[in-house]
Structure 1
Amino acid sequence: MARGPAGKAPSRNSRTEIELIWIEQRLEHWIRFGRIAGERILSRKTRVVSFRPDAIIALVRWSANDYGTVHSRIDILRAVRSGEPYTTAPFVRPGGELLLSIQGWPKVRKVIEAIDQVEAAGLDPCDIAPEHWRHVHNRLSAGEPARDYTIERHQAWLKRKALGE
Structure 2
Amino acid sequence: MSGGPYQPHPEQPDRGSSATTDVELIWIEKRLEHWIRFGRIAAERILSRRTRVVSFRQGACLAFVQWSASDYGTVRSRIDILRCVGQGDAYTTVPFVRPGGDLLLSIKGWPRVQRVLQAIDAVEAAGIDACDAAPEHWRHVHNRITVGEAPRGYTRERHEAWLKRQATGL
Q: TM-score range by the shorter chain?
A: over 0.9
Out of 111, 115, 119, the residue aligned to residue 116 of structure 2 is 111
How far the C-alpha of 1:81 sits from its partner, in A, is 1.1
Aligned pairs (5 A) from 1:95-134: 95-134=100-139
Q: Is the 8 A contact 1:10 1:83 kept in 2?
A: no
> After superposition, what is the alpha-carbon deviation per residue over 1:35-81, rounded to whole angstroms, capped at 9, x for unaligned?
00000000000000000000000000000001111111000000001
Q: Is the 8 A contact 1:56 1:76 kept in 2?
A: yes
Which residue of 1 is the match for residue 65 of structure 2? 60
Provide the TM-score with structure 1 as the length reference.
0.93
Q: Which one scores higher on RCO, CA 8 angstroms, separation ≥ 6?
A: 1
Tell me the matched-pair count: 158
Which residue of 2 is the match for residue 84 of structure 1? 89
Tell me whether 1:153 sits opposite 2:158 in the alignment: yes
1 CA distance for matches of 2:82 and 2:49? Answer: 26
Out of 19, 31, 37, the residue aligned to residue 14 of structure 1 is 19
Out of 17, 31, 34, the residue aligned to residue 29 of structure 1 is 34
> After superposition, what is the alpha-carbon deviation per residue over 1:5-64, rounded to whole angstroms, capped at 9, x for unaligned?
xxxx95064100000000011000000000000000000000000000000000000000
Provide the TM-score with structure 2 as the length reference.
0.90
Q: Gaps (5+ residues) in structure 1?
A: 1-8
4+ residue runs over 6 A deviation: none
Give the 3 Å change call, closer, same or farther, for CA 121–44 of structure 1 in structure 2: same
Q: Gaps (5+ residues) in structure 2?
A: 1-12
Give the 3 Å change call, closer, same or farther, for CA 92–162 of structure 1 in structure 2: same
Identity across matched positions, percent: 69
Tell me whether 1:44 sits opposite 2:49 in the alignment: yes
1 CA distance for matches of 2:146 and 2:123? Answer: 20
Note the aligned Cα RMSD (angstroms): 1.4
Tell me whether 1:164 sits opposite 2:169 in the alignment: yes
